[in-house]
Amino acid sequence: MDLNKVFYPESIAVVGASTKEGSVGNDILKNLAFQGYAGEIYPINPKVETLHGKKCYASLTEVGANIGLMVIVVPAAVVPAVLEEGGKLGIKAAIIISAGFKEAGNPDLEDKVAEICRQYDIALVGPNCLGVINPENKMNASFAVSMPSFGSVAFISQSGALCTAVLDYASNLGIGFSKFMSIGNKAVLDEVAILETLAKDPATNVIAMYTEQLSGSKAFIDVVNGITHGANAKPVIALKSGKTSAGASASASHTGALAGNDAAYGALFMQSGVVRADSVSDLFDYIQIFANNKIASCQRVAIVTNAGGPGVLATDEVVSRGLELAKLSEGTESALKAALPAAASSHNPVDVLGDAKADRYALAINAVMSDSNVDAAIVVLTPQSMTEFKATADAMIEAKKKYDKPLAVSFMGIETVAEAVEMMKSNDIACYYFPEQAAKALSVMNNFYLNSKGGLREVTVFNDVDREKVKEIFDNARKAGKTSFPEAEALEIMKAYNFPLLKSAIARTADEAVAIAKEIGNKMAFKIFSQDILHKSDVGGIMLNVEPSEAGEKFEEMIKIVSKNRPDAKLEGIVLMEMAPKDGLEMILGSSSDPSLGNMMLVGLGGIYVEIMKDVSFGLVPASKGDIDNMLKTLKSYAILGGARGQKVLDVEKLIETIGRLNQLLSDFPEIKEIDINPLLVLSQGQGARVLDSRIIIG
């Protein structure tokens, strides 16, 4: 399906064009007729002859000419018939504005719409959407009030109502759009299909999106990685609602789609290279910095200010965001010292003092922007009685044109600085109310710049695994109606994928325990094996440091204790496992399945700490080695792995390998709903790791 047929149609039919002022069908036709669209427009309304100066037609067939795009604004029940008619006429693009589909409890009707579109190869946006705007060709096929200015930002939204607010806010910020679309229920075209088109769009340099629910994590990650990496990387900025359980519930009722777990979305955005905005304010702060500046390093920041306090606030934010204050060269500091008043600061941050006029600001900004030690600059201005607002804005505009470095400006205030700020916005300068916003935006650009230089994602594949063995285990389990695998059986699956395990075996009698103990030859842990018992220690089902000579006696003792504590449980035997080394860090590995994004891995502090500290991070399957590295680096406890405070350096490489094996197991068997490996004991560098306990649940 060709989405460009939606963006660049040679002619448009509005099916459901209405004579009623203020109705959706009337407003869409009016927008197309009077906002500059140059193609033919065909209102479809059998009850009138003309509407907004355009001849009306009783049906699509009656038009008798090629139609590039049909915009459908009729009751939901009629939509399939309209699509069928359009498909037979060879129309290859449609926007369904009409509501009343999945979001209203009619999924079958939406499925019918999707089926017709696939049958006739119709690129469909919607249903239940605001519409599509392409400022490049003045096409406003929506019921938004006005045509936004043409610019480099493409905006995709799952919420039509948010779109209208975004348009108004963007106009105030001087942001123009290359494409602007509300996608509604995504019956046919989803974000992945749209992103594939925008990736190749020469008019689009920045992609921003508001989403409530995504699906198909692998396709999304692959497409967005291609956009956000490489020489011509484009930032993709996403605002995702439904972070809390209450928000997710509201989202589901609004869109008719189940919102995913926010941890999964965090992993999705990290692995794909998406810049995540936590608020609408953040979204526009980030859009501004990317739309108005060339993507470049912002690591070393210079600050120019006429007020000490705001300069310190900017400095604090720069440093706390992982950037650094640029060390100005001796030449720059000497020039500033010679030109500025004695009380001014020629060091970074450069304080030009409260009485600074435009000439002093111009001198300072040119000095720091020309310094090779400076990657980016923040300019802060607080209004004083002698401040020359417009002239200072002119100085910023000239500096922006002269130097190819990111610039963020904060003229603090509203009414007093309004005219100067408007001047800068209209000349492609990123303007912020407060200096902290400017510093945060530069840090986001810097992170994107660094990430965009990374190589393509490579997923490690292990050739020493026995996939057929695990398949056999799962097939047999399904035949028996079984979905849960406690420790002993889970370890068989782990063994097939060559996880680092302790020596172990299941003893079903005291004699078997004696034989197994001789083979292990060291102290052992005894663990009861029963499908009915989840927490073994609660019923006396754990014994530690059992000597091989005690194996038979301890076997009978444990069976007796557990039988007494849980007479209802079926006891299948005891797992005999060699005792783990005493040194090392207990970690947890695991997985769960998100309903829309698929399998998600978890890694973090394990053992008794997992519930207390909750120091965990997530990654979606399949994860690359780089993704796994990032999962570990986001842990608060990451420094412990490297030997913090004189402790031993732990075997991080073996930990990464073990996570990689989990990644492959989950990739090979997507029916796995949950895995819990807790604890995974990570030993000293070169000593490996050991899986001490695990369980698996399949669908």
From CA 264, how far away is CA 95, in angstroms rounded?
A: 31
CB under 8 Å to 549, separation ≥6 — which residues?
A: 517
User: Could you tell me if 246 and 222 are in contact, meaning their C-beta atoms sit under 8 angstroms apart?
Assistant: no
Tell me the average confidence (pLDDT) per consecutive run of 10 residues in the chain, 699 residues long. Answer: 96 97 97 97 97 97 97 98 98 98 96 98 97 98 95 95 91 95 96 96 97 91 94 95 61 36 88 95 97 97 97 97 97 97 96 97 98 98 97 98 97 96 97 97 97 84 97 94 86 95 93 96 93 87 95 96 95 93 90 87 83 85 94 92 86 97 97 92 95 90
Query: What is the separation, in whole angstroms, between the first and last Cα of the chain?
Result: 34
For residue 300, what are the CA distances in angstroms to 323, 429, 649? 6, 19, 32
User: Could you tell me if 420 and 411 are in contact, meaning their C-beta atoms sit under 8 angstroms apart?
Assistant: yes
Q: State the pLDDT at residue 21.
A: 95
Closest by CA position to 689, among listed 660, 662, 650, 663: 650
Q: State the pLDDT at residue 245.
A: 59
HSE, CB side, 13 Å, CA atoms: give it for residue 96.
32
CA 585 to chain centre: 30
CB under 8 Å to 676, separation ≥6 — which residues?
A: 588, 590, 694, 695, 696
3-class SS at 526? strand
Q: State the pLDDT at residue 244.
A: 62
From CA 655, how far away is CA 677, in angstroms rounded?
A: 12
Q: State the pLDDT at residue 251.
A: 45
CATH architecture entry for 308-444: 3-Layer(aba) Sandwich (3.40)
Domains of the chain: which residue ranges?
Answer: 4-290, 308-444, 467-578, 585-698
For residue 448, what are the CA distances in angstroms to 4, 225, 227? 28, 12, 12
**Structure-token pair, residue 484:** 């849960």
From CA 442, how far away is CA 313, in angstroms rounded?
A: 15
Percentage helix, strand, coil, to 5, in the chain?
Answer: 40, 20, 35
435-452 and 217-228 helices cross at what angle (nearest 10)?
100
From CA 530, how far away is CA 524, in angstroms rounded?
A: 19
Strands (E), 484-569: 484-485, 504-507, 524-529, 542-546
pTM of the full predicted structure? 0.89
**CATH number for the domain formed by residue range(s) 4-290:** 3.40.50.261
CB under 8 Å to 588, separation ≥6 — which residues?
A: 602, 603, 604, 605, 606, 607, 610, 616, 676, 677, 678, 679, 680
From CA 575, how far away is CA 524, in angstroms rounded?
A: 10
CATH class of 585-698: alpha beta
Q: What is 467-578's CATH topology?
A: Dna Ligase; domain 1 (3.30.1490)
From CA 376, how far away is CA 353, in angstroms rounded?
A: 21
Q: Could you write out the DSSP letters of every residue in 138-170?
A: TEEEES-SSPPPEEEEEEEES-HHHHHHHHHHH
For residue 584, what are the CA distances in angstroms to 55, 184, 225, 499? 80, 51, 36, 17
From CA 457, how far away is CA 226, in angstroms rounded?
A: 10
